[in-house]
Structure 1
Amino acid sequence: MKIISRYLRPEDIPALLVLERAKWESHQAADAASLMLRIETFPQLCIGSFCADSGRALASLFMRPVSAQAFVAPTRWENAADVRLHHGAPDAGDALFGISLSSLDSKAVTQIFRFFHPRALKAGWRDIYLGSPIPGFRKARAQNPGLQVWQYAHARRGLRVNEPLDPQLRYYFRKGFKDIVSIQENYFPHEDSLNYGVIVRGSIPLSAPKQLWRHTPICILQTFSLLALR
């Protein structure tokens, strides 16, 4: 299957709604108005992967600028994700918050990051933050009632000690989101996570020489990106 990744457009919303409903529960999925607002507000921070033959949406990533200190204090996803609260705010620096990463195909997610990486270098972005559920926590707490959320979030697999024990944290870890920034109580409604969310950070490879990349043609950055992401 050939996968095409590109910036999202308003006409993509019907396909994106199918993806949202396939991936999330009804109270978690974004509606058409929310998707439209994200695309219109930050058009170069909304990316999707599509099947080239059918046009089916396979993955989507919505982002917004964020301050690196945003997740030190308690926060909730509904506030962090509301682009109306952040559009037109003072320059947040060089970090992004991933409002939503939805996928039906891991290769489609990889394609999104391959598409975005050279453009992120060009724009001067350095870090991406995501809020992850921890879907194994409820079961682990049931087996061990004294288990603290921070113990579970930082737990590692027995045979592969570099990787998180929780399957969702492990998924993001393999995508480059290896730093746990904070653990948020009542972050979003997610029964298997007992409503906790873990903020993870991924650094964009090769992003340090910001001024150099701003003046580098995108075709050269695409070549550098292919080497870096391998």
Structure 2
Amino acid sequence: MNHALHFLSPAKARPRADERARARRLTHRDLPALLDLEHEKWNDVQAASQEQLRERIDTHPDLAIGAFCAQSGRLLASLFLRPVADDFHRSAHTWEDCTLLPAPRTTSTLFGISLTSRDQAGVLALFEFIWPYALKRGWRHIYLGSPLPGLRDWMDAHPKGRVENYVYAQRRGLPIDPQLRYYGSRGFAKIVSIKRNYFPHERSLDYGVLLRRTVPLSVFGPLWAAVSLATVKRVTRPLIALL
């Protein structure tokens, strides 16, 4: 299987995301569900406020996406993206920096302000939803900032160790940090930079890592630009099913 398509492929014997979850763009009507998810997964310092969530939806409505349970309608995952300069990671040092940088006129890069989930099927549905739009708009790379929830314990056990050693450490070919391992399984395997004081997260000692993945099939950018979005969706839909 093409590694670039890995995050679009569910594991064997697992239902496809579109059987368990439906993704769509978020609206103000989703704010109560978004707040509930934020406070379930983040503490009071980390969680976005209602005003912040509203602003994210209003600023980039096409890049504010939620995945909902196909049966109950419960919010399973949310994803907020924004366009950034292709070299934004050189000047942005904190998560807040990444969210405040001015949006460039043209870019091939998106930054994930927030990816929050209570179900992996929801995460899969989010990326299946954004894939054809990313191809049509010419976006090639998506960045996410990851915490390092195993760092504090590792540093306690290795008092002379360096953060870089932990970030790049692997076991059986996979990162030892559980969050890096999870994002790597979704295609975000490229470690671009390690940021000190990136985001308040006690177990990560406030460190974060910027990760990058390439949008599958984005190398054929001129082709996607020449056809309609409906055509892009028709092309990508069976590819997901055949993986």
TM-score by length of 1: 0.92
Pairing 1:35–2:53 present: yes
Deviation of 1:56 after TM superposition, in Å, equals 1.5
Distance 1:2 1:200 in 2: 27
Pairing 1:90–2:101 present: no
Pick aligned residue for 1:190 from 190, 201, 223: 201
Pairing 1:138–2:182 present: no
| 8 Å contact from structure 1 (residues 205, 228) kept in 2 | no
| 8 Å contact from structure 2 (residues 201, 207) kept in 1 | yes
Secondary structure of the residue aligned to 1:61 is strand
Residue of structure 1 equivalent to 2:4: none
Pairing 1:24–2:49 present: no
Pairing 1:155–2:159 present: no
**Structure 1 residues 71-99: Cα deviation after superposition (integer angstroms, max 9, x where no partner):** 124511122124xx53xx43251100000
Gaps of 5+ in 1: none
| 8 Å contact from structure 2 (residues 84, 104) kept in 1 | no
2:161 partner letter? L
Aligned-residue identity in percent: 47
| 8 Å contact from structure 2 (residues 132, 233) kept in 1 | yes
Distance 2:98 2:190 in 1: 19
Gaps of 5+ in 2: 1-18
Residue of structure 1 equivalent to 2:219: 208
Residue of structure 1 equivalent to 2:229: 218
| 8 Å contact from structure 1 (residues 206, 228) kept in 2 | no
Distance 2:142 2:168 in 1: 20
Higher helix share: 2
User: Closer, same or farther in 2 for the Cα pair 1:92/1:142, shift >3 Å?
Assistant: farther
Task: For 1:120-139, list aligned pairs within 5 A.
Answer: 120-139=134-153
Distance 1:210 1:33 in 2: 36
Pairing 1:180–2:191 present: yes
2:149 partner letter? P
Task: For 1:6-25, list aligned pairs within 5 A.
Answer: 6-25=24-43
Query: Structure 1 residue runs of 4+, over 2 Å off?
Result: 52-55, 217-220, 222-230
2:132 partner letter? P
Distance 2:150 2:29 in 1: 36
Pairing 1:71–2:89 present: yes
Deviation of 1:2 after TM superposition, in Å, equals 3.3
Deviation of 1:208 after TM superposition, in Å, equals 1.3
Deviation of 1:52 after TM superposition, in Å, equals 3.0
State the Cα RMSD in Å: 1.6
Distance 2:139 2:228 in 1: 16
1:208 partner letter? V
Pick aligned residue for 1:105 from 119, 143, 148: 119
Give the paired residue count: 223
Secondary structure of the residue aligned to 1:120 is helix
Distance 2:223 2:95 in 1: 34
